[in-house]
Structure 1
Amino acid sequence: MQPAFRRARGLPRRHWLAAAALAAATLGLAPVPAAAQDGWPSRPIRLVVPFTPGGVTDTSGRVVAEFLGRRLGQQVVVDNKPGASGNIGTALVKDAAPDGYTLVLGFDGTMVINPHVFAKLPFDTLKDFTPIGKIGNATLILVANPDAPVKSLADLVGVSKATAGGLSFGTSGTGGTPHIAGELLKLRTGANLTHVPYKGGGQALTDVVGGNIPLVYTAIAGAHGFVKSGKLRALGVSSAKRSPALPDVPTFSEAGVPDFVVDSWVGLLAPAGLPPAIATRLTTELNAVLNDPEARDKLRTLGIEASPGTAAQFREEMARDLGRYGQVVKAAGIKID
């Protein structure tokens, strides 16, 4: 067998080395040079949010980008790449160079539910990414347009059963945590609800505020401002306790659906193969951000409880959730070819 990079006769050594390096890079064999690692970051970092502006991944991502950029001394630029319930933007980062300049805001719906929902997924959650760390748990909330004939969770169940065709509820996309929560609500209460998927929580919220759909199941992060201003009516949060962001909104358990607890999470990931030194630096700086009182307060206002920890802990949680949600998706019969 001929060697892969045999030097051609008469080719100057410097040209041969350059060609070999280019070929190695093309084959994905070239590691990030040590000098580049030492000088990281030397330019702005791209943070891909795989949903439209306004949802929990976008709002939490912008808070983290602001504070992380301060600590790294380089701007962290949020780049919204929505589509396919988060798959498009997430796959884009999987294929990016593992040099620390492209990150993704991981959402549990995309990372641990989509693998069970989509027949073909353009990435492997545990193999194609380097976990940086979990940002926090996001409280989910069910909201209604003020003109909708529902003022409580009990109203929703009763009205949906009495209405021909039931009631529609929007979410950030098929198979996302809000979608799963809505399906579980149907199973637990017998409510007649029809799911309407969007390309992000922001688009769903725009439609419910505009009266195009009566209900949206989403994260408090996006709905908070609309609820506070009276543009949306909060029916309940599906967390174990009331959210400090909206303390007057009852939990589902308090509203008549006992032991109904479904939260969501967001985290930070990079492409697989990220140099350990850069990965460690990112995890360290992310934890510093999550321990910063100002950043924690901003996240809490969005309904997100900061969860500093290790990259290994984040990977373990993703692995656990992959197993847990597989059973739920199968029971709900959710599948996309």
Structure 2
Amino acid sequence: MSLPKMSRKLHTKLIAAAAVLGLSSAMSVRVAAAVDAPADLPQGLIKIVVGFAPGGAADLTARAFAEQLSKEGVKEVIVDNRPGASTRIANSYVQRAAPDGLTLLLATSPSFTIYPYTYKNLGYDGEKDFRPIALLVDIPTAIVTGADQPYSNMKEYVAWAKANQKQATIGLAAQGSSGQLGSIALGKDIGVDFAPVVYKGASPMLVDVVSSRVSMGWDAAASMMPLYQGGKIKFLGLSGSDRLASLPNVPTVKEQGFPQFEAATSFYAIFAPAGLPDKTAAALEKVFLKAAQDPGLVKRLQENGLVVKPMDHAQLAQRVRKEKAFWEPVVKQSGIQFE
């Protein structure tokens, strides 16, 4: 497929637009502590490790919580972006970290619910190598395309994809994700083989969506909001069964007659290396759950397409087990597996 060339100046502008939600990598968040930190919190600099480049929904979530933690008495928190290998670089980094509570993982659910089945050599065991701390937000996902593309909803896109099968590509911020599984299921149902194009995060993927280098992109709706508000992309449909309050005019993919992406809603949660002492884990859980109750944080994330839905460590562990049971047969039926 012949792809349109893009000037360096435009490329830079698009990167900046896609990164508007985030700040520079590993920038620390320093806010004057309003209260004393819980006694059993780890003493020292806390790193929240994110497996994506700055600018996407994971980065936004990590920075929003880092700022709120500072207000809850945590003296200093930094967000450490370690993109690549579909979050496995970040996951492995935290897996190997000392279990002292100073290195935490903001994990996206596929790392623990889908990747155990899509990767032959995952490099970590989600249940043995990590300790669940708290679930923070649900992540409605979306299918988007460039504003200049000739289709504006899923029915129009499917008709276009059938007529232009060599150009039917899907941009993904992570390989082996629920979005990729959804595209495989959709492709089987309509007779189109969607070629996946995998990136190190939503920001670089969206650059190619805007410039029509890929025919559609899939990721967290929150990652898409700045470019959508700027008129650079169009939403074709949302995951799940319900529309978003922040996007009331965007129908779900299921509403449009394509149920393959209904289960593609994900979540972000905090995990620590296995071996973290009980008192430290409990203190971290308490401060994250308290931060999730802040009205300003809830509003900020909701306006960007994220749903704050906190759960404690036990509820998080239960949800991981439930979603693993759901995705295992889906992955096996899809036939996909990576090294």
Which residue of structure 2 lines up, in the alignment, with residue 291 of structure 1? Answer: 293
Describe the shift of the 1:189–1:286 C-alpha distance in structure 2 as closer, same or farther (beyond 3 A). farther
Which residue of structure 1 lines up, in the alignment, with residue 316 of structure 2? Answer: 314
Deviation track 1:207-248 (CA, whole Å, cap 9, x = no partner) reads 212332221011111001111111101111012110112111
Q: 1:330 aligns with which of 321, 332, 337?
A: 332
Q: Contact conserved, 2:145 with 2:212, CA < 8 A, in 1?
A: no
TM-score, normalised to structure 2's length? 0.84
Superposed, 1:25-64 pairs within 5 Å as 40-64=41-65
Q: Contact conserved, 1:173 with 1:197, CA < 8 A, in 2?
A: yes
Equivalent pairs, count: 301
Q: Contact conserved, 2:53 with 2:200, CA < 8 A, in 1?
A: yes
Which residue of structure 2 lines up, in the alignment, with residue 17 of structure 1? Answer: none
Q: Contact conserved, 1:42 with 1:74, CA < 8 A, in 2?
A: no
CA–CA separation in structure 1 for the residues paired with 2:73 and 2:131: 19
Which residue of structure 1 lines up, in the alignment, with residue 15 of structure 2? Answer: none
Q: CA deviation at 1:202?
A: 2.0
Which residue of structure 2 lines up, in the alignment, with residue 124 of structure 1? Answer: 125
Describe the shift of the 1:49–1:300 C-alpha distance in structure 2 as closer, same or farther (beyond 3 A). same
Question: Which deviates more from structure 2 when the two are superposed, residues 248-257 or residues 44-53?
Answer: 248-257
Q: Which amino acid counterpart does residue 321 of structure 1 have in structure 2?
A: E
CA–CA separation in structure 1 for the residues paired with 2:289 and 2:101: 17
CA–CA separation in structure 2 for the residues paired with 1:165 and 1:182: 15
Superposed, 1:135-146 pairs within 5 Å as 135-146=136-147
Q: CA deviation at 1:204?
A: 0.8
Q: Report the secondary structure of 1:183's partner residue.
A: helix
CA–CA separation in structure 1 for the residues paired with 2:300 and 2:72: 17
CA–CA separation in structure 1 for the residues paired with 2:259 and 2:127: 34
CA–CA separation in structure 2 for the residues paired with 1:293 and 1:287: 13
CA–CA separation in structure 2 for the residues paired with 1:117 and 1:133: 25
Q: 1:274 aligns with which of 270, 273, 276?
A: 276
Q: CA deviation at 1:125?
A: 0.5
Q: Contact conserved, 1:142 with 1:215, CA < 8 A, in 2?
A: yes
Pair 1:303 & 2:294 matched: no
Q: Report the secondary structure of 1:88's partner residue.
A: helix
Q: Which amino acid counterpart does residue 161 of structure 1 have in structure 2?
A: K
Q: CA deviation at 1:56?
A: 2.3
Deviation track 1:134-186 (CA, whole Å, cap 9, x = no partner) reads 11210011000112221110111111111141411101121122222222332
CA–CA separation in structure 1 for the residues paired with 2:267 and 2:303: 15
Deviation track 1:227-284 (CA, whole Å, cap 9, x = no partner) reads 1111101111012110112111111122222585121111011101111111111111
CA–CA separation in structure 1 for the residues paired with 2:283 and 2:40: 12
Q: Contact conserved, 2:128 with 2:274, CA < 8 A, in 1?
A: yes
CA–CA separation in structure 2 for the residues paired with 1:109 and 1:73: 29
CA–CA separation in structure 2 for the residues paired with 1:280 and 1:109: 24
CA–CA separation in structure 1 for the residues paired with 2:246 and 2:40: 40
Q: CA RMSD in A?
A: 1.7
CA–CA separation in structure 2 for the residues paired with 1:128 and 1:86: 15
CA–CA separation in structure 2 for the residues paired with 1:303 and 1:261: 16
**Structure 2 unmatched ranges of 5 or more:** 1-37
Describe the shift of the 1:264–1:40 C-alpha distance in structure 2 as closer, same or farther (beyond 3 A). closer
Superposed, 1:69-84 pairs within 5 Å as 69-84=70-85
CA–CA separation in structure 1 for the residues paired with 2:41 and 2:49: 19
Describe the shift of the 1:102–1:257 C-alpha distance in structure 2 as closer, same or farther (beyond 3 A). same
Q: Report the secondary structure of 2:75's partner residue.
A: coil
Q: Which amino acid counterpart does residue 196 of structure 1 have in structure 2?
A: V
Q: CA deviation at 1:87?
A: 0.7
Q: Which amino acid counterpart does residue 142 of structure 2 have in structure 1?
A: I
CA–CA separation in structure 1 for the residues paired with 2:170 and 2:222: 18
CA–CA separation in structure 2 for the residues paired with 1:201 and 1:177: 15
Superposed, 1:88-103 pairs within 5 Å as 88-103=89-104
CA–CA separation in structure 2 for the residues paired with 1:55 and 1:83: 14
